Structure 1
């Protein structure tokens, strides 16, 4: 792209020092854009906007063009790239910490900033921060300490499939982490911001603060609140990220990996917002929130939910493989309430009775097959 521009508009030898400095500033800005990994189409759009600036100022000298181009690009940077840089300096740091944790541990793990690893053996564990984060109570039975002075450090809570955990932060915010989730958060909050990074699913009951907003980051969405209750689902193997609001209000900002792809919206109670990663679209609609948040209380409320979606939730919750033998069964819908305190076999039996399907357990105790049944024993 640069070679093409140079060919069309060679740099005159009579430029003043001021004009050359303006040109260098513009080139530096375009270098910054390249560092943000913009797609070719986005770079083309930027150059088109600069081109419009040129056509409107044909009577000006080449040096004046560079000054105008630098101003145009600066405005674009302030509007778009500034957001990406901000995200890079905050949420991406926590995202990197999330990637450092164990891959699929058998037990829930709390990884402290000093790299200590605390194992939580209960299926439903609890972690509570006290004394501004200096003390951490684990499963109401043991207490550990951590250093909270100095530079901001991050802790990570990893909840494998088949486990759940409730986290209480030092500010009083409570977070229910579902199976197959991990949360990265500061060892203590500063006086200006409260930020966490989520992979998986969590229900948040945020302690209200007029002065310090609470931010939940995922791979492609930011949720900003002052104090409210909501659920966020951001599993890596789902093609979407969703947020469901139960009380209060939240502000959502989607983050496509592009300069022009972000979208901001506010939702009200009873609303579900879904960002489709493949289509890069955000859709909102009214829902029965219990269908999306009841898991934290140990049951699933289902309103004609697709069987494939139900089985994915059960697979995560119980850490089992459930196979649909006939692909056409994926569209079978199920309504009712499933008690997640029951054994997985009891759950599958309830589904079988309601749908007319049959299930069987294979040689592995964690593998089940669901299929059509013509005659039930």
Structure 2
């Protein structure tokens, strides 16, 4: 290997490391993408080989790369010896395996495309939800035109062009009755929605999630109830604390940004704080969180984890997946967003951790090809079922 090639390899590895850590500039990302395109353009000769021949050729290439990198690799992430990290990135096609000292890229994409068995592709989730009014009437929000949806007890409910539901007070109408009235938004699998509550607090709902809230916040507290996953930006009101109830947990705030994951079928409830302060209560335990901390509740037990990757936690709200977890955890998120059933033909190793960023706007086959990239796992799509195979 020439000195120039060694210098370029080190430069490229530095760029990839910065990209993985979220530190790459726009110019550096363009440079990486240009390198990828040049590699892809030069890999067309493999199309003349059968799938088995391509796989055998790639394995030989990987062994050679592995042998070379072991001598010169710069470790990026330190992991326990039994762990292996597969880092997914660069236009959703780049794989970087750091824990084993192995780095390789992109000519393999053509082979992977032939390995994934796709009977029919599945589109990503979209803005869709059902609103249940105080009188029990159900409204399919996705089917409505933009504009006024309903009017209840002095509140006008409108749908905006960017997929929000907005509650506004109508001064000309008089609120009648003393009994509180509630609305509920339910988001199905393969959906997401955003609502601006009557107090101007903003809530984003992930797939298979719901929120119930009053038309008017009265009394000493603002109370809402959720199931699933929701991100909150709570309007500040020191005279009326905002409380979020989920399963056996309550989160109390005055005005702040936080994310709650509280799916009934998952073992842990997680509350992650981005700004401000929150008080998390479960059973007899109570903890105050500061930004970057996460409360994890299982049953009546609570633990607080510090220095959480908040970007990973709220990636769903910002339109992408950020993985740093094992295959089953990833496929749980995939099942909710793409509205699919996941079936395993083997028991995945929980110590194998995949890390990287992938857009949630891609069809499911694009995401599965990335995970397939190093050949350890394969997928088959049958209807709305994804079969995970060795």
Structure 1 residues 274-319: Cα deviation after superposition (integer angstroms, max 9, x where no partner): 0112xx321111210111111011111122x111111001100110
Cα deviation, residue 149, structure 1: 3.3
Deviation of 1:170 after TM superposition, in Å, equals: 1.7
C-alpha distance in 2, partners of 1:176/1:126?
A: 20
1:59-208, aligned counterparts within 5 Å? 108-121=129-142, 134-140=155-161, 148-150=175-177, 151-208=179-236
Q: Distance in 1 between matches of 2:216 and 2:235?
A: 15
Q: Note if 1:265 corresponds to 2:287.
A: yes
**1:204-240: CA deviation from partner (whole Å, max 9, x where unpaired):** 0001111111000011100000000000011010122
How far has the Cα of 1:254 moved from its partner? 0.4
**Once structures 1 and 2 are overlaid, which stretch shifts more, 207-216 or 149-158?**
149-158
Give the Cα separation in 1 of the matches to 2:345 and 2:160: 40
Q: Deviations over 1:137-177 (max 9, x none)?
A: 02449999998532211111111110000010121100000
CA distance in 1, matches of 2:355, 2:249: 30
Q: Secondary structure at the match of 1:246?
A: strand
2:153/2:174 contact within 8 Å kept: no
1:130 is displaced (CA, Å) by 9.5
- Which residues of 2 match residues 304-343 of structure 1 at below 5 A? 305-343=325-363
> How far, CA to CA, are the matches of 1:139 and 1:354 in structure 2?
43
Question: Larger C-alpha radius of gyration, 1 or 2?
Answer: 1
Match of 1:368 in 2: 386
Residue in 2 that maps onto 1:63: none
**Per the alignment, do residues 338 and 245 of structure 1 end up closer, same or farther by CA in structure 2, a change over 3 Å counting?**
same
Sort the Cα spacing of 1:272 and 1:126 in 2 relative to 1 into closer, same or farther, 3 A: farther
Name the TM-score, length of structure 1 as normaliser: 0.62
- Kept in 2, the 8 Å contact 1:148–1:188? The answer is no
Q: C-alpha distance in 2, partners of 1:316/1:138?
A: 24
Give 3-state SS (helix, strand or coil) of 2:136's partner. Answer: coil
Partner deviation per Cα, 1:112-147 (whole Å, 9 max, x = no partner): 111111111269x99999999610002449999998
The alpha-carbon deviation at position 338 of structure 1 amounts to 1.6
Aligned to 2:303: 283
1:342 deviates by: 0.4
Q: Whole-Å Cα distance in 2 between the matches of residues 336 and 126 of structure 1?
A: 39
> Aligned with 1:300: secondary structure?
strand
Unaligned runs of 5+ in 2: 1-126
Aligned equivalents of 1:118, 1:197: Cα separation in 2? 20
Asked whether 1:237 is paired with 2:258, we answer no
- What SS class does the counterpart of residue 199 from structure 1 fall into? strand
Over 3 Å counting, the alpha-carbon distance change for 1:143 and 1:211 in structure 2 is closer
Number of aligned positions between the proteins: 255
Note closer, same or farther for the CA distance 1:299–1:107 as it changes in structure 2 (3 Å cut). Answer: closer
Structure 2 SS opposite 1:183? strand
For structure 1, the 5+ residue unaligned runs are: 1-105, 256-261, 373-377
For the aligned residue pairs, the C-alpha RMSD in angstroms reads: 3.0
Conserved 8 A contact 1:132-1:170: no
Q: Which has the higher contact order (CA 8 A, sep 6+)?
A: 2
Partners of 2:174 and 2:368 in 1: CA distance: 47
